[in-house]
Amino acid sequence: MRGSDIVRNPVPHAFAVLHRDASVDLIVDAAKVSAEVRDHLGAEIRLHQPDQFGPVLDGLTGPVQVDRKSAPVWVADRLEAVGTEILWASDPCILPKARKNPQEIKGMEAAHLRDGVAMVEFLCWLEAEAPKGGLTEIDVVTKLEGLRRVDNSLRDISFETISGAGPNGAIVHYRVTHDTNRPVTPGELLLVDSGGQYLEGTTDITRTVATGPVSDLEKQCFTRVLQGMIAISRARWPKGLAGRDLDALARCPLWSAGLDYNHGTGHGVGAYLSVHEGPQRLSRQSHVPLEVGMCVSNEPGYYREGAFGIRIENLIHVIPAPEIAGQDDREMLAFATLTYVPIDVRLIDKSLMSIEEIEWLNAYHAEANHRLGPRVSPETQAWLARVTAPI
Protein backbone atom coordinates (compact mmCIF):
# COMPACT_ATOMS: atom_id res chain seq x y z
CA MET A 1 0.00 0.00 0.00
CA ARG A 2 1.23 3.49 -0.80
CA GLY A 3 0.33 6.87 0.61
CA SER A 4 1.68 10.33 1.40
CA ASP A 5 1.49 10.60 5.18
CA ILE A 6 5.28 10.73 5.62
CA VAL A 7 7.34 13.28 3.69
CA ARG A 8 9.43 11.64 0.92
CA ASN A 9 8.26 8.15 1.98
CA PRO A 10 5.31 6.81 -0.04
CA VAL A 11 3.40 5.08 2.75
CA PRO A 12 0.22 5.70 4.76
CA HIS A 13 0.02 5.65 8.54
CA ALA A 14 -1.46 2.29 9.48
CA PHE A 15 -1.20 -0.70 11.82
CA ALA A 16 -1.88 -4.33 11.06
CA VAL A 17 -2.54 -7.46 13.07
CA LEU A 18 -1.47 -10.55 11.16
CA HIS A 19 -3.28 -13.68 12.30
CA ARG A 20 -2.04 -17.23 12.19
CA ASP A 21 -4.64 -18.07 9.52
CA ALA A 22 -3.10 -15.35 7.28
CA SER A 23 -6.05 -12.98 7.67
CA VAL A 24 -5.29 -9.39 8.66
CA ASP A 25 -6.94 -6.67 10.71
CA LEU A 26 -5.80 -3.47 8.98
CA ILE A 27 -6.18 -0.31 11.03
CA VAL A 28 -6.18 2.66 8.66
CA ASP A 29 -8.30 5.69 7.89
CA ALA A 30 -10.87 4.40 5.38
CA ALA A 31 -10.53 7.64 3.41
CA LYS A 32 -7.02 6.53 2.45
CA VAL A 33 -8.21 3.26 0.91
CA SER A 34 -9.61 3.59 -2.59
CA ALA A 35 -12.28 1.25 -3.94
CA GLU A 36 -9.66 -0.32 -6.19
CA VAL A 37 -7.38 -1.09 -3.24
CA ARG A 38 -10.32 -2.37 -1.18
CA ASP A 39 -11.31 -4.79 -3.93
CA HIS A 40 -7.72 -5.96 -4.24
CA LEU A 41 -7.41 -6.63 -0.51
CA GLY A 42 -10.36 -9.00 -0.51
CA ALA A 43 -12.33 -10.53 2.35
CA GLU A 44 -9.27 -11.73 4.32
CA ILE A 45 -8.26 -8.13 5.04
CA ARG A 46 -10.64 -6.55 7.54
CA LEU A 47 -10.52 -2.74 7.67
CA HIS A 48 -10.88 -0.81 10.94
CA GLN A 49 -10.78 2.91 11.65
CA PRO A 50 -7.83 4.11 13.80
CA ASP A 51 -10.02 4.56 16.90
CA GLN A 52 -10.80 0.83 16.76
CA PHE A 53 -7.16 -0.26 17.19
CA GLY A 54 -7.57 -0.63 20.96
CA PRO A 55 -10.71 -2.79 20.76
CA VAL A 56 -9.03 -4.97 18.09
CA LEU A 57 -6.10 -5.58 20.45
CA ASP A 58 -8.47 -6.25 23.36
CA GLY A 59 -10.13 -9.02 21.36
CA LEU A 60 -6.93 -10.99 20.74
CA THR A 61 -6.73 -14.20 22.76
CA GLY A 62 -2.97 -14.50 22.50
CA PRO A 63 -0.22 -15.23 22.55
CA VAL A 64 0.61 -12.13 20.47
CA GLN A 65 3.99 -11.58 18.84
CA VAL A 66 5.24 -7.98 19.14
CA ASP A 67 8.40 -6.39 17.76
CA ARG A 68 10.14 -4.12 20.29
CA LYS A 69 11.87 -2.21 17.47
CA SER A 70 8.72 -1.05 15.71
CA ALA A 71 5.63 -1.42 17.91
CA PRO A 72 4.68 1.51 20.17
CA VAL A 73 4.86 0.90 23.92
CA TRP A 74 1.11 1.61 23.95
CA VAL A 75 0.48 -1.68 22.11
CA ALA A 76 2.24 -3.75 24.78
CA ASP A 77 0.56 -1.78 27.58
CA ARG A 78 -2.87 -2.39 26.05
CA LEU A 79 -2.26 -6.11 25.66
CA GLU A 80 -0.87 -6.47 29.18
CA ALA A 81 -3.82 -4.55 30.63
CA VAL A 82 -6.22 -7.31 29.53
CA GLY A 83 -3.81 -10.13 30.45
CA THR A 84 -2.81 -11.14 26.90
CA GLU A 85 0.47 -13.07 26.66
CA ILE A 86 3.16 -11.26 24.62
CA LEU A 87 5.92 -12.97 22.66
CA TRP A 88 8.73 -10.51 21.91
CA ALA A 89 10.17 -11.27 18.47
CA SER A 90 11.03 -9.62 15.17
CA ASP A 91 8.26 -8.55 12.81
CA PRO A 92 7.74 -11.57 10.50
CA CYS A 93 7.11 -9.24 7.55
CA ILE A 94 10.48 -7.49 7.69
CA LEU A 95 12.70 -10.12 6.05
CA PRO A 96 10.26 -11.07 3.25
CA LYS A 97 10.01 -7.35 2.40
CA ALA A 98 13.79 -6.98 2.48
CA ARG A 99 14.28 -9.95 0.13
CA LYS A 100 13.11 -8.33 -3.10
CA ASN A 101 11.50 -10.74 -5.55
CA PRO A 102 12.58 -10.80 -9.23
CA GLN A 103 9.80 -8.41 -10.25
CA GLU A 104 10.84 -5.90 -7.59
CA ILE A 105 14.47 -6.13 -8.69
CA LYS A 106 13.36 -5.58 -12.27
CA GLY A 107 11.49 -2.48 -11.10
CA MET A 108 14.52 -1.20 -9.19
CA GLU A 109 16.63 -1.60 -12.33
CA ALA A 110 14.08 0.39 -14.33
CA ALA A 111 13.97 3.13 -11.70
CA HIS A 112 17.74 3.43 -11.74
CA LEU A 113 17.73 3.66 -15.52
CA ARG A 114 15.29 6.57 -15.33
CA ASP A 115 17.27 8.18 -12.54
CA GLY A 116 20.54 7.67 -14.39
CA VAL A 117 19.25 9.75 -17.29
CA ALA A 118 18.54 12.68 -14.97
CA MET A 119 21.89 12.28 -13.24
CA VAL A 120 24.02 12.32 -16.39
CA GLU A 121 22.09 15.30 -17.79
CA PHE A 122 22.82 17.01 -14.48
CA LEU A 123 26.52 16.07 -14.39
CA CYS A 124 26.99 17.23 -17.98
CA TRP A 125 25.40 20.58 -17.08
CA LEU A 126 27.43 20.82 -13.87
CA GLU A 127 30.77 20.24 -15.60
CA ALA A 128 30.03 23.13 -17.95
CA GLU A 129 28.62 25.55 -15.37
CA ALA A 130 30.58 24.97 -12.14
CA PRO A 131 33.96 26.30 -13.42
CA LYS A 132 32.28 29.62 -14.28
CA GLY A 133 31.82 30.37 -10.58
CA GLY A 134 28.19 31.51 -10.71
CA LEU A 135 26.47 28.61 -8.94
CA THR A 136 25.37 28.15 -5.35
CA GLU A 137 24.48 24.96 -3.49
CA ILE A 138 20.77 25.75 -3.87
CA ASP A 139 21.21 26.25 -7.62
CA VAL A 140 22.61 22.72 -7.79
CA VAL A 141 19.67 21.27 -5.84
CA THR A 142 17.13 23.13 -7.98
CA LYS A 143 18.68 21.99 -11.24
CA LEU A 144 18.95 18.32 -10.25
CA GLU A 145 15.45 18.07 -8.84
CA GLY A 146 14.10 19.80 -11.96
CA LEU A 147 15.82 17.29 -14.22
CA ARG A 148 14.39 14.41 -12.22
CA ARG A 149 10.87 15.80 -12.58
CA VAL A 150 11.14 15.71 -16.37
CA ASP A 151 10.29 12.01 -16.05
CA ASN A 152 6.56 11.60 -15.43
CA SER A 153 7.19 8.35 -13.55
CA LEU A 154 8.81 10.29 -10.69
CA ARG A 155 6.50 10.55 -7.71
CA ASP A 156 8.84 12.48 -5.39
CA ILE A 157 12.45 12.81 -4.40
CA SER A 158 13.41 10.10 -1.90
CA PHE A 159 14.98 12.53 0.62
CA GLU A 160 16.09 16.14 0.82
CA THR A 161 18.99 16.58 -1.62
CA ILE A 162 22.41 17.09 -0.06
CA SER A 163 24.52 19.64 -1.93
CA GLY A 164 27.73 20.43 -0.05
CA ALA A 165 30.45 22.59 -1.57
CA GLY A 166 33.97 22.69 -0.11
CA PRO A 167 33.85 22.47 3.71
CA ASN A 168 30.06 21.93 3.71
CA GLY A 169 30.70 18.61 1.98
CA ALA A 170 32.44 17.45 5.16
CA ILE A 171 29.13 17.69 7.08
CA VAL A 172 27.77 14.18 6.56
CA HIS A 173 24.04 15.00 6.79
CA TYR A 174 24.28 18.58 5.57
CA ARG A 175 21.08 20.20 4.27
CA VAL A 176 21.49 23.53 2.54
CA THR A 177 19.29 26.42 3.68
CA HIS A 178 19.13 30.03 2.55
CA ASP A 179 21.28 30.88 5.59
CA THR A 180 23.97 28.29 4.82
CA ASN A 181 23.81 28.49 1.02
CA ARG A 182 27.41 28.61 -0.20
CA PRO A 183 28.88 29.50 -3.59
CA VAL A 184 30.23 26.56 -5.59
CA THR A 185 33.75 27.90 -5.88
CA PRO A 186 35.84 26.60 -8.81
CA GLY A 187 38.58 24.31 -7.56
CA GLU A 188 36.57 22.87 -4.66
CA LEU A 189 34.93 19.47 -4.33
CA LEU A 190 31.15 19.35 -4.56
CA LEU A 191 29.29 16.46 -2.90
CA VAL A 192 25.74 15.77 -4.13
CA ASP A 193 23.66 13.04 -2.47
CA SER A 194 20.14 12.60 -3.86
CA GLY A 195 17.48 10.17 -4.98
CA GLY A 196 14.04 9.66 -6.44
CA GLN A 197 10.82 7.78 -5.73
CA TYR A 198 9.60 6.19 -8.95
CA LEU A 199 6.66 3.84 -9.42
CA GLU A 200 9.18 1.09 -10.17
CA GLY A 201 11.54 1.68 -7.26
CA THR A 202 13.59 3.95 -5.01
CA THR A 203 17.00 5.42 -5.85
CA ASP A 204 19.83 6.91 -3.80
CA ILE A 205 23.10 8.08 -5.35
CA THR A 206 26.05 10.22 -4.29
CA ARG A 207 28.66 11.69 -6.60
CA THR A 208 31.58 13.91 -5.62
CA VAL A 209 32.80 16.06 -8.49
CA ALA A 210 35.58 18.52 -9.21
CA THR A 211 34.56 22.09 -10.00
CA GLY A 212 38.06 22.86 -11.29
CA PRO A 213 41.64 21.72 -10.58
CA VAL A 214 41.98 20.13 -7.12
CA SER A 215 44.90 19.16 -4.88
CA ASP A 216 46.82 15.89 -4.93
CA LEU A 217 45.57 15.20 -1.40
CA GLU A 218 41.94 15.42 -2.53
CA LYS A 219 42.67 13.07 -5.44
CA GLN A 220 44.38 10.57 -3.17
CA CYS A 221 41.49 10.60 -0.69
CA PHE A 222 38.93 10.31 -3.49
CA THR A 223 40.78 7.36 -5.00
CA ARG A 224 40.88 5.51 -1.67
CA VAL A 225 37.14 6.03 -1.23
CA LEU A 226 36.60 4.72 -4.76
CA GLN A 227 38.76 1.68 -4.02
CA GLY A 228 36.56 0.89 -1.03
CA MET A 229 33.40 1.23 -3.12
CA ILE A 230 34.88 -1.09 -5.74
CA ALA A 231 35.90 -3.61 -3.06
CA ILE A 232 32.29 -3.92 -1.89
CA SER A 233 31.02 -4.11 -5.47
CA ARG A 234 33.42 -6.99 -6.23
CA ALA A 235 32.90 -8.80 -2.91
CA ARG A 236 32.21 -12.53 -2.85
CA TRP A 237 31.40 -14.21 0.46
CA PRO A 238 29.94 -17.39 2.03
CA LYS A 239 26.20 -17.35 2.63
CA GLY A 240 25.39 -16.49 6.22
CA LEU A 241 27.66 -13.48 6.64
CA ALA A 242 26.22 -10.13 7.67
CA GLY A 243 26.99 -6.51 6.90
CA ARG A 244 29.42 -6.34 9.84
CA ASP A 245 31.56 -8.96 8.08
CA LEU A 246 31.89 -6.93 4.87
CA ASP A 247 32.05 -3.37 6.19
CA ALA A 248 35.84 -3.43 6.63
CA LEU A 249 36.38 -4.16 2.93
CA ALA A 250 35.31 -0.59 2.14
CA ARG A 251 37.60 0.89 4.80
CA CYS A 252 40.85 -0.97 4.14
CA PRO A 253 42.16 1.42 1.43
CA LEU A 254 41.50 4.35 3.78
CA TRP A 255 42.91 2.54 6.82
CA SER A 256 46.16 1.92 4.97
CA ALA A 257 46.61 5.72 4.82
CA GLY A 258 45.46 6.33 8.41
CA LEU A 259 42.00 7.52 7.34
CA ASP A 260 38.40 6.41 8.08
CA TYR A 261 34.79 7.63 8.12
CA ASN A 262 32.28 7.78 10.96
CA HIS A 263 29.19 6.24 9.38
CA GLY A 264 28.13 2.85 8.13
CA THR A 265 29.08 1.78 4.64
CA GLY A 266 25.51 1.13 3.54
CA HIS A 267 21.83 0.96 4.48
CA GLY A 268 18.95 -1.12 3.19
CA VAL A 269 16.68 0.43 0.55
CA GLY A 270 13.01 -0.24 -0.22
CA ALA A 271 11.30 -0.88 -3.55
CA TYR A 272 9.24 2.32 -3.97
CA LEU A 273 9.25 2.51 -0.19
CA SER A 274 11.61 4.09 2.34
CA VAL A 275 15.08 5.01 1.13
CA HIS A 276 16.32 3.71 4.51
CA GLU A 277 14.83 0.26 5.06
CA GLY A 278 16.15 -2.52 7.29
CA PRO A 279 16.98 -4.82 8.70
CA GLN A 280 20.07 -5.36 6.53
CA ARG A 281 22.95 -2.90 6.49
CA LEU A 282 26.62 -2.74 5.61
CA SER A 283 27.75 -1.70 9.07
CA ARG A 284 29.78 -2.83 12.05
CA GLN A 285 26.49 -3.00 13.97
CA SER A 286 24.61 -5.21 11.51
CA HIS A 287 24.16 -8.84 12.53
CA VAL A 288 21.48 -9.64 9.92
CA PRO A 289 22.76 -12.14 7.32
CA LEU A 290 22.69 -10.82 3.77
CA GLU A 291 20.28 -12.75 1.54
CA VAL A 292 19.48 -12.87 -2.16
CA GLY A 293 17.26 -9.95 -3.18
CA MET A 294 18.35 -7.57 -0.44
CA CYS A 295 19.19 -4.07 -1.68
CA VAL A 296 21.75 -1.91 0.08
CA SER A 297 23.68 1.27 -0.57
CA ASN A 298 27.45 1.12 -1.04
CA GLU A 299 28.75 4.50 0.12
CA PRO A 300 32.16 4.80 1.73
CA GLY A 301 33.44 8.32 2.27
CA TYR A 302 36.08 10.57 3.75
CA TYR A 303 35.53 13.94 5.43
CA ARG A 304 38.15 16.53 6.35
CA GLU A 305 36.46 19.05 8.65
CA GLY A 306 36.62 22.60 7.40
CA ALA A 307 38.03 21.54 4.02
CA PHE A 308 36.16 18.97 1.91
CA GLY A 309 33.98 15.89 1.91
CA ILE A 310 34.01 12.84 -0.37
CA ARG A 311 31.39 10.13 -0.78
CA ILE A 312 30.67 7.80 -3.69
CA GLU A 313 27.41 5.86 -3.54
CA ASN A 314 25.80 3.20 -5.70
CA LEU A 315 22.90 0.91 -4.87
CA ILE A 316 23.58 -2.82 -5.16
CA HIS A 317 21.62 -6.01 -4.52
CA VAL A 318 22.57 -9.50 -3.36
CA ILE A 319 22.70 -12.32 -5.91
CA PRO A 320 24.01 -15.91 -5.93
CA ALA A 321 27.71 -15.65 -6.76
CA PRO A 322 28.74 -17.00 -10.16
CA GLU A 323 30.41 -20.35 -9.62
CA ILE A 324 34.13 -20.79 -9.86
CA ALA A 325 34.47 -24.13 -11.61
CA GLY A 326 35.96 -26.80 -9.38
CA GLN A 327 36.69 -24.43 -6.50
CA ASP A 328 33.53 -23.49 -4.57
CA ASP A 329 32.90 -25.82 -1.64
CA ARG A 330 30.01 -23.81 -0.18
CA GLU A 331 27.19 -21.52 -1.29
CA MET A 332 28.53 -18.06 -2.08
CA LEU A 333 26.86 -14.69 -2.58
CA ALA A 334 27.85 -11.51 -4.42
CA PHE A 335 26.52 -8.08 -5.33
CA ALA A 336 25.03 -6.84 -8.60
CA THR A 337 25.02 -3.13 -9.33
CA LEU A 338 21.82 -1.12 -9.80
CA THR A 339 23.32 2.38 -10.23
CA TYR A 340 25.15 3.19 -13.48
CA VAL A 341 26.30 6.82 -13.49
CA PRO A 342 29.84 8.03 -14.31
CA ILE A 343 32.38 8.58 -11.53
CA ASP A 344 34.55 11.69 -11.90
CA VAL A 345 37.83 10.32 -13.29
CA ARG A 346 39.42 13.77 -12.96
CA LEU A 347 39.65 13.01 -9.23
CA ILE A 348 41.41 9.66 -9.61
CA ASP A 349 45.06 9.05 -8.81
CA LYS A 350 45.52 6.07 -11.11
CA SER A 351 48.89 5.18 -9.56
CA LEU A 352 47.09 4.03 -6.39
CA MET A 353 44.79 1.62 -8.20
CA SER A 354 45.33 -2.05 -9.00
CA ILE A 355 44.85 -3.52 -12.45
CA GLU A 356 41.68 -5.27 -11.22
CA GLU A 357 40.25 -2.00 -9.88
CA ILE A 358 40.94 -0.19 -13.14
CA GLU A 359 39.36 -3.01 -15.11
CA TRP A 360 36.26 -2.86 -12.89
CA LEU A 361 35.96 0.90 -13.34
CA ASN A 362 36.40 0.72 -17.12
CA ALA A 363 33.77 -2.03 -17.37
CA TYR A 364 31.41 -0.06 -15.12
CA HIS A 365 31.77 3.05 -17.26
CA ALA A 366 31.30 1.09 -20.48
CA GLU A 367 28.05 -0.31 -19.10
CA ALA A 368 26.88 3.16 -17.99
CA ASN A 369 27.51 4.49 -21.49
CA HIS A 370 25.72 1.51 -23.04
CA ARG A 371 22.64 1.85 -20.83
CA LEU A 372 22.26 5.63 -20.78
CA GLY A 373 23.79 6.87 -24.03
CA PRO A 374 20.72 6.16 -26.21
CA ARG A 375 18.41 7.85 -23.66
CA VAL A 376 20.02 11.26 -23.20
CA SER A 377 20.26 14.45 -25.25
CA PRO A 378 22.87 14.62 -28.05
CA GLU A 379 25.05 17.01 -26.06
CA THR A 380 24.97 14.77 -23.00
CA GLN A 381 25.53 11.69 -25.15
CA ALA A 382 28.83 13.16 -26.39
CA TRP A 383 29.80 14.12 -22.84
CA LEU A 384 28.93 10.65 -21.55
CA ALA A 385 31.06 8.93 -24.17
CA ARG A 386 33.99 11.13 -23.21
CA VAL A 387 33.79 10.72 -19.43
CA THR A 388 33.26 6.94 -19.62
CA ALA A 389 36.28 6.31 -21.87
CA PRO A 390 38.78 3.81 -20.39
CA ILE A 391 41.40 5.29 -18.10
Residue 328 has pLDDT above 90, yes or no: no
Q: What is the pLDDT of residue 326?
A: 74
The string of pLDDT tens digits covering residues 181-226 is: 999 999 999 999 999 999 999 999 999 999 999 999 999 999 999 9
Mean pLDDT over each residue of the chain, to the nearest integer: 96
Angle at CA 52, nearest 5°, toward 47 and 54? 125
Range 224-260 burial, b when 16+ CB lie within 10 A, else e: bbbbbbbbbbebebeeeebbbbbbebbbebbeeeebe
| 8 A C-beta contact, residue 282 and residue 250 | yes
Q: Are 84 and 59 in contact (CB under 8 A)?
A: no
pTM: 0.94
Helix count and strand count (H, E) for the chain = 10, 18
Residues in the chain: 391
| Residue limits of CATH 3.90.230.10 in the chain | 98-387
Q: Which pLDDT does position 28 carry in this prediction?
A: 97
pLDDT one-digit tens code per residue, 335-358: 999 999 999 999 999 999 999 999
**Rounded mean pLDDT, 257-276:** 97
Sequence-distant (≥ 6) Cβ neighbours of residue 126 within 8 angstroms:
140, 143, 190, 209
Query: How confident is the model at residue 168, as a pLDDT?
Result: 97
Q: Tell me, what's the pLDDT at 156? A: 96
CA distances from 112 to 204, 316, 317 (A): 9, 11, 13
Calpha distance 40→34 (Å, rounded): 10
| Angle subtended at Cα 372 by Cα 366 and Cα 378, rounded to the nearest 5 degrees | 110
Q: Residue 96 region, left (φ>0) first, then alpha (ψ -120 to 50), else beta?
A: alpha
Strand ranges (DSSP E) for 120-267? 154-157, 162-165, 189-194, 196-198, 205-210, 236-238, 266-267
With 0-12 CB in 10 A as exposed, 13-18 as middle and 19+ as buried, what is 210? buried
Q: What is the pLDDT of residue 205?
A: 98
Could you tell me which of 232, 250, 239 has the C-alpha nearest to residue 331?
A: 239
pLDDT score recorded for residue 177? 95
| Four-point Cα dihedral 69, 73, 77, 83, nearest 10 | 0
CB 368 within 8 A of CB 356: no
Instruction: Check if the beta carbon of residue 161 is closer than 8 Å to that of residue 145.
Output: yes
Which H helix or E strand runs over 316?
strand 314-320
The CA-based dihedral angle spanning residues 59, 64, 68, 70, taken in that order and rounded to the nearest 10 degrees: -60
**Is 140 a residue whose pLDDT tops 90?**
yes
169 phi and psi, to 5 degrees? Answer: -65, -20
Give pLDDT tens digits for 371-385.
999 999 999 999 999
CATH for 98-387 is: 3.90.230.10
